[in-house]
Amino acid sequence: MQFVSTRGQAPALGFSDAVLAGLAADGGLYVPASWPQVSADEIASFAGKPYADVAYAIISRFTEGEIPAAKLKSILEEAYATFRHPSVTPLLELEPGHFVLELFHGPTLAFKDVAMQFLSRVMDHILLERGLKATIVGATSGDTGSAAIEAFRGRDTTDIFILHPKGRTSEVQRRQMTTVLDDNVHNIALEGAFDDCQDAVKAMFNNHAFRDRVRLSGVNSINWGRIVAQIVYYFTAAAALGSPHRKVSFTVPTGNFGDIFAGYCAKAMGLPIERLVIATNANDILRRTLDTGRYEMTGVAPTISPSMDIQISSNFERLLFESAGRDADAVNRMMAGLKQSRGFDLPETSIAAIRRDFAAGTTDEAATRAVIAQTHKASSYLLDPHTAVGVGVARSQPHDGTPMITLATAHPAKFPAAVAEASGIEPALPAWLGNLYERPERVTVLANDQRLIEDFIVARSRA
Ligand SMILES: Cc1ncc(COP(=O)(O)O)c(C=O)c1O
Ligand SMILES: N[C@@H](CCOP(=O)(O)O)C(=O)O
């Protein structure tokens, strides 16, 4: 399987090289050259299978010829043995016809663990095979960083540098990152917003001298290795509800568009998905884009779902590529518009194609709090604020008899202050994180200055 860049100027790569590259050399994102298909019979066979087996069935279609079957199986067994629930990603019915897919049973309590536990092991394997070390950089609004640090800590093949926006994560999220004191882990608190962190990471990838010097690699969802692992739970959840004989819809709390793009991939591979619903918080650039056909940056406001306080939604580029019939020139024009004038109009055919697969809605701050309170009152189920954004939007969708699955992307204990304010209940951290508030922290505060950040990394990278 080859992977091509959404900007059309970088060479096509195999799975291992695409994973190590993270971002393509032309600034684009890698997507598979074609979508492998999963037959109806095979989808039906996923119901009741162990999670790691379904993961193998899906992921091996992209790694064939590169990662030996036995190695991939052992990576997946090990990755999902770190989850505290036997089903890995359990599905439960919140109200008739509306399900939540709990993706937060991994080591850091957010959906990022599902991909990161796989990615760290597969990268380690590739680097060991090649006798190389890599420098990993990542931008986080809190969850990617903690999952990546947990997955890569102590690994000899990698140094990991995570940039988070200073003061804009929850305290639990920050401590999950800064209390990891392994030598290969480096936390940077950037004076800025999440988009500044993400811009800095992309600028490092586009600085080819720096990129080569430290053998740069990335763990944000720009990396195909993240997306491929997230496709799996769309299949397990749909199969559990009777797919392929019954269609399902998904509502996904969305920021960088990685999680919901994985749903699009599942559909492209043959999973009968009726609708993919983009759920945004008050930072609603994606909902406005679906409404108006124009992607327009207007600024980011901090919310109680901070991991979605994003306006440069990286993976939307992958959807633009798909919706434009894989026309890289069209993508380049749109991305140039974004750089020059902070916005662009989608071609008519693109927005029409997107609207065929996707719907979108917003749950604002007050409504998010109300969803948490009302859901707890009705069913004693505590939602984290990101999942609540999803549940709020899912409830506003037309009822067409198709089961709706909302992705529960984080455990409420990651956001105790917001959850307690909304519901009166302070969710407790699981036992293994019980002493998080007593652990010492290590973090470096840096100004939002590209040179400063790159110098910091060069001085500490062992690659
Ligand atoms: C808890 C949580 N929910 C939702 C999202 C949004 O996911 P995505 O960026 O893949 O759209 C994030 C961050 O990525 C998150 O951390
Ligand atoms: N919400 C994210 C932001 C980065 O998203 P990613 O999926 O592209 O890594 C976070 O928690 O850091």
Is residue 108 within 6 Å of ligand 2 at its C-beta? no
Buried b (16+ CB within 10 A) or exposed e, 383-398: bbbbbbbbbbbbbebe
Angle of helix 285-292 versus helix 348-357 axis, rounded to 10 = 120
List the one residue out of 153, 174, 97, 248 whose CA is nearest residue 441. Answer: 174
Instruction: Please say if 112 is a catalytic residue.
Output: yes
Q: What is the pLDDT of residue 399?
A: 87
User: How far does the centroid of ligand 2 lie from the alpha carbon of residue 414, in Å?
Assistant: 15
> Which ligand sits nearest to residue 141's alpha carbon?
2
List beta partners, residue 91.
101
Residues in CB range of 64: below 8 A, 6 or more apart: 1
Q: What is the pLDDT of residue 400?
A: 87
Residue 70: Cβ within 10 Å count: 8
Whose alpha carbon is nearest atom 7 of ligand 2?
221
Q: What is the pLDDT of residue 306?
A: 92
Q: Using DSSP bridges, classify how beta strands 134-139 and 216-218 pair: parallel, antiparallel or unpaired.
A: parallel
User: DSSP 3-state assignment of 429?
Assistant: coil
The DSSP call for residue 462 is: -
CA distances from 371 to 170, 239, 259, 323 (A): 20, 28, 22, 33
User: How far does the centroid of ligand 2 lie from the alpha carbon of residue 194, in Å?
Assistant: 9
User: DSSP 3-state assignment of 168?
Assistant: coil
Q: What is the pLDDT of residue 339?
A: 93
The tens place of each residue's pLDDT in the chain, 463 residues long, gives 999 999 999 999 999 999 999 999 999 999 999 999 999 999 999 999 999 999 999 999 999 999 999 999 999 999 999 999 999 999 999 999 999 999 999 999 999 999 999 999 999 999 999 999 999 999 999 999 999 999 999 999 999 999 999 999 999 999 999 999 999 999 999 999 999 999 999 999 999 999 999 999 999 999 999 999 999 999 999 999 999 999 999 999 999 999 999 999 999 999 999 999 999 999 999 999 999 999 999 999 999 999 999 999 999 999 999 999 999 999 999 999 999 999 999 999 999 999 999 999 999 999 999 999 999 999 999 999 999 999 999 999 998 899 999 999 999 999 999 999 999 999 999 998 889 999 999 999 999 999 999 999 999 999 8
Q: What are 125-177's pLDDT values in tens digits?
A: 999 999 999 999 999 999 999 999 999 999 999 999 999 999 999 999 999 99
Q: Rounded distance, CA 417 to CA 431, Å?
A: 19
Is residue 230 within 6 Å of ligand 2 at its C-beta? no
Main-chain dihedrals φ then ψ at residue 5, nearest 5 degrees: -85, 145
Per DSSP (E only), the strands in 140-239 are: 158-165, 185-190, 216-218
Q: Using DSSP bridges, classify how beta strands 248-253 and 273-280 pair: parallel, antiparallel or unpaired.
A: parallel
Q: What is the pLDDT of residue 97?
A: 97
Q: What is the pLDDT of residue 62?
A: 98
Q: Rounded distance, CA 285 to CA 304, Å?
A: 17
Mutate to test the pocket of ligand 1, among 254, 300, 305 (most ligand atoms within 8 A of CB): 254
List the one residue out of 191, 199, 192, 265 whose CA is nearest residue 227. Answer: 265
Residues in CB range of 347: below 8 A, 6 or more apart: 324, 330
The DSSP call for residue 410 is: B
pTM for this model (two decimals): 0.97
User: How far does the centroid of ligand 2 lie from the alpha carbon of residue 365, in Å?
Assistant: 20
Mutate to test the pocket of ligand 2, among 143, 163, 164, 177 (most ligand atoms within 8 A of CB): 143
User: How far does the centroid of ligand 1 lie from the alpha carbon of residue 304, in Å?
Assistant: 13
CA distances from 104 to 129, 147, 307, 460 (A): 31, 11, 14, 32
Angle of helix 143-152 versus helix 171-178 axis, rounded to 10 = 20
Helices (H), 305-449: 316-323, 328-341, 348-357, 365-379, 385-396, 416-423
**Which amino acid, 226?**
R
Whose alpha carbon is nearest atom 12 of ligand 2?
140
The atom number, within ligand 2, closest to the CA of 112 reads: 7
CB 219, CB 374: distance < 8 Å: no
Q: What are 275-330's pLDDT values in tens digits?
A: 999 999 999 999 999 999 999 999 999 999 999 999 999 999 999 999 999 999 99
Q: What are 44-58's pLDDT values in tens digits?
A: 999 999 999 999 999
Altogether, the residues listed in the chain come to a count of 463
